[in-house]
Amino acid sequence: MTVSIEQQILEKIKKAGRGSLFFPEYFTAFGSAETVGKSLSRLVQTGELHRVATGIYVRPVKDSVLGTVLPGIEEIAEAIRKRDKARIVPAGSYALYKLGLTTQVPMNIVYYTDSTARKIKVGKQTITFKRASARNLSAIGEISSLVIQALRTIGRDKVTEEELNRIKELLKQEKPFHLQHDLKIAPEWIRKLLKE
């Protein structure tokens, strides 16, 4: 008896565990893009899968208190980064939010990338991937790369003393080698600000 494409997809999904994200191209070995698409749609209808965004699926985590738990924006962006073998860096107001320089969660979350520029609608939020130069993506420190993007967003002469103090506190947690590397590639005005 042949196993249906739907069944094969479901088996592969179950092996990955709950909370894992999937793209239709993960299942091309089982059939044509059209057949895979229809199978995924049926799995969404039966509740085995949840469509997070166009072409992105998850087998949701079930929690006794919270109910169905869907992946967050970061997890989705990370899954896309891995699939595209790309580099991504949070930018704009999202970088400010991640550093705690603003408490407002942006509705449009921007990442700079060296892959394809695109917008992905996730519920009420949008993830925007913007093509950026290699220089914009070459920072290696987790905190220092966010700091560079946040300062760019705030602007050269608009950084407050309070923001600068917060940034300096955060940078103490960065690995010294990463910080030195990232300062070298940061715009000159940012270098001057941080070297003080």
Query: What is residue 18's predicted lDDT score, i.e. its pLDDT?
Result: 93
Mean pLDDT of 127-143: 95
Query: What is residue 1's predicted lDDT score, i.e. its pLDDT?
Result: 44
Q: Where in the chain is the domain with CATH 1.10.10?
A: 5-69
pTM of the complete model: 0.89
CATH of domain 5-69: 1.10.10
Query: What is residue 160's predicted lDDT score, i.e. its pLDDT?
Result: 94
**145 near 190, Cβ under 8 Å?**
no
- Does the pLDDT at position 62 exceed 70? yes
Strands 56-58 vs 21-22: parallel, antiparallel or unpaired? antiparallel
Cβ contacts of 152 within 8 Å, gap of 6 or more: 91, 187, 190
pLDDT digit string, tens, across residues 147-183: 999 999 999 899 999 999 999 999 999 999 999 999 9
pLDDT digit string, tens, across residues 184-193: 999 999 999 9
